[in-house]
A and B are shown apart, each in its own frame.
Chain A
Amino acid sequence: MMKTVFKRTPTLKDCPTHYCPGCGHSLIHRLTAEAIDDLGLKDRCIGVASVGCSVFADDYFDFDFIQAAHGRAPAVATGLKRSKPDCIVFTHQGDGDLASIGAAEMVHSANRGELITIVFVNNAIYGMTGGQMAPTTLVGMKTTTCQLGRDPKVAGYPVRVCELLEDLKGVAYLERVAVNTPAHVAKAKKAMRKAFKAQADGLGFSLVEVLSQCPTGWGQLPKDAVSWVDDNMSTYFPLGVFKDVTADTGDK
């Protein structure tokens, strides 16, 4: 007899995505949807799409969605959540959106302990606009706006978002994960679940940073991009839990 061992999670719509081959976004959408389905939150979920590759996220999730201006997703989420405290509100934001133009909204929504979840996709580059330098672009990494490689004397060093936010008292859950190997995907799924649960339990602000591969923006084959996450990204952006208010001791 045939046994189903893997199927689409109901909250994810049955349609192809517009993402490039080898991109981490669709995996991250799936993990988000699975966490929402596992916790039974779909009926009261409102998603906030941001500006960047994920601007069409509303095409893929089967619940209420809103598009925010570039960087403003946490402010929009604040307005949504304060007005509908029973709803589960999350934003899906890239590195340019969250850590550059939306840095103030990120820091202050975290500091207020807004009961929202941010799914932060860190692929070290602006994907949608064609591969410009992001706040998380690694030193020496070449992009269309740092063609000789990121020079910290000119552009500063890459921003570590989890490290930046971990000191803020309003933060309940903070973890950096990756989606380049099956083991990392399994860990990312757990992180996503914990982050949404922290919101549902009213514990505070939660954010999951996902190191994601962008073969198109990096000019690499998908298989090389997957290794590049381990070899270059996670050495500067260490994976792990940065804050978990449900843990007995602050582990890291």
Chain B
Amino acid sequence: MCGNEALAESAILAGCDAYFGYPITPQNEIPAYMSRRMPEEGRVFVQSESELAAINMVFGASATGKRAMTSSSSPGISLMQEGISYLSGAELPAVVVNVMRGGPGLGNIAPSQSDYFQATRGGGHGDYRTIVLGPSGVQELVDCMPLAFDLADQYRMTVMVLADGILGQMMEPVVLEKKKSRELPAKDWALTGAKDREQKIVRSLWLPEGVLEKLNYKLRDKYKQVEQNEVLCEQYEIDDADVVVVAYGVAARIVRSAVSRAREEGIKAGWIRPITLWPFPTEQISKAADEFRIFLVVEMSNGQMVEDVKLAVNGKSPVLFYGRPGGGVPNVDEVLDLIKQMTLRPKM
């Protein structure tokens, strides 16, 4: 199974009730798979007229209390930002998969990580956050889906799974199984028809003075909770490391190989791999920077996550960057050479 199909099946196992999507490469296997499997399961599949429509169909489906998702790739995700902002304002859960490709504009269809800013900074208008998961293999992509639906339902937020063209197209053996869901709050806000109860209203417009400010404080408190409870990150051989390489997603796989080879050559290198890109593992990186080490951030972009790493390191250690934008993929030798050069530098 390719990553796209695997994540689609995993979403079905996670109880996705409704999928809405519009074709775009390199994620077309997701709607294709869903168009066959969702009706088999008696669930909803609609090919929408646009990404704008798709995310707004998610908005409607989610408002009924059903688990709803969409998927797209970078240009389509840009179109969905309006809907994600409204979902955030109305506090509706949703899962959005972005199988990133090169940009800006139509860009190309090669894998890229250039939507990090858009994903982790909200992307649409208004003061809101989305939870962003950055898996680095097909199994992790599979494992992300039930987690994404649970997080979305628990916090009533949009959860974005930030994959890329390699992950979507790559084939790896996977274990697909139904996971036990977290204990989740009841969806007492869902619109189901007001039979024998008061009416319920889902809205994101709050004109009276102070009401929207209050809602924004409520959202801020919720986001703080997410930051406290939901950070996921993986670390390798940090304790004695002179060089710490930080990368996520597919770039982290390349880094992993480069660091292992550096270790074989006696270089004290380690890596940190954020799995949640928001909330970001600020504390873990900050702790690693308490002792002087050189940080290297590797991304398939001109440098986006590196800004979060710099904020986490907060001047305690130098932070260097290596990136390949526009569909370029760094190879292991490039990263290994950089690690070697860095360790040749005189200690500051």
Chain A residues packing against B (C-beta within 8 Å)? 42-46, 48-49, 55, 58, 61-69, 72, 75-84, 86-87, 104-105, 107-108, 112
Q: 23 interchain pairs (CB within 8 A)?
A: A42-B194, A46-B64, A49-B203, A62-B194, A64-B199, A65-B200, A65-B201, A66-B63, A66-B191, A72-B59, A72-B82, A75-B54, A75-B60, A78-B53, A79-B61, A79-B68, A80-B63, A81-B60, A82-B44, A84-B64, A84-B191, A84-B192, A105-B52
Question: Are A66 and B60 interface neighbours, CB within 8 A?
Answer: yes
With A58-B203, A77-B60, A78-B60 known to touch, is A83 a contact of B18 (CB < 8 Å)?
A: yes
Chain B residue with Cβ nearest A46:
B191
| Shortest Cβ distance from residue A47 to the other chain B in the assembled complex, whole angstroms | 9
If over half of B's interface residues share one DSSP class (helix, strand or loop), that class is named, otherwise mixed; here it is mixed
Contacts of B82 in A (CB 8 A): 69, 72
Tell me the complex Cα distance, A80–B61, Å.
Answer: 5
Question: Which B residues are in CB contact (< 8 Å) with A77?
Answer: 60
Contacts A65-B201, A75-B59, A84-B191 supplied; 11 other A-B pairs, CB < 8 Å: A42-B194, A66-B201, A67-B204, A77-B60, A78-B46, A79-B57, A81-B60, A84-B192, A87-B192, A108-B49, A108-B53
Q: Once the chains bind, are A63 and B204 in contact (CB under 8 Å)? A: no
Are A67's CB and B202's CB within 8 A? Answer: yes
* Bound-state Cα–Cα, A49 to B59, Å: 13
Are the CB atoms of A69 and B64 closer together than 8 Å? no
Residue among A55, A61, A82, A87 making CB contact with B18, cutoff 8 Å: A82
Shortest CB–CB separation between residue A108 and chain B, in angstroms? 4
CB <8 Å contact, B194 and A79: no
Q: Which residues does chain A contribute within 8 Å of B64, judged by CB atoms?
A: 46, 79-80, 83-84, 87
Which residues on the A side are within 8 Å of B20 (C-beta)? 79
Bound Cα distance A194, B60 (Å): 25
Distance A55 CA – B64 CA, assembled complex (angstroms): 20
Taken together as a complex, chains A and B put the C-alpha atoms of A155 and B86 apart, in Å, by 31
The answer on a CB contact under 8 Å between B63 and A79 is yes
Shortest B289–chain A CB gap in Å is: 42
Instruction: State how many angstroms separate the Cβ of A80 from the closest Cβ of chain B.
Output: 4
**Contact status of A62 and B83, CB under 8 A, knowing A79-B59, A82-B61:** no
| 10 A-B pairs with the lowest CB-CB distances in the bound complex, closest first | A79-B60, A75-B56, A79-B57, A108-B49, A79-B61, A43-B195, A44-B193, A76-B60, A72-B56, A80-B60
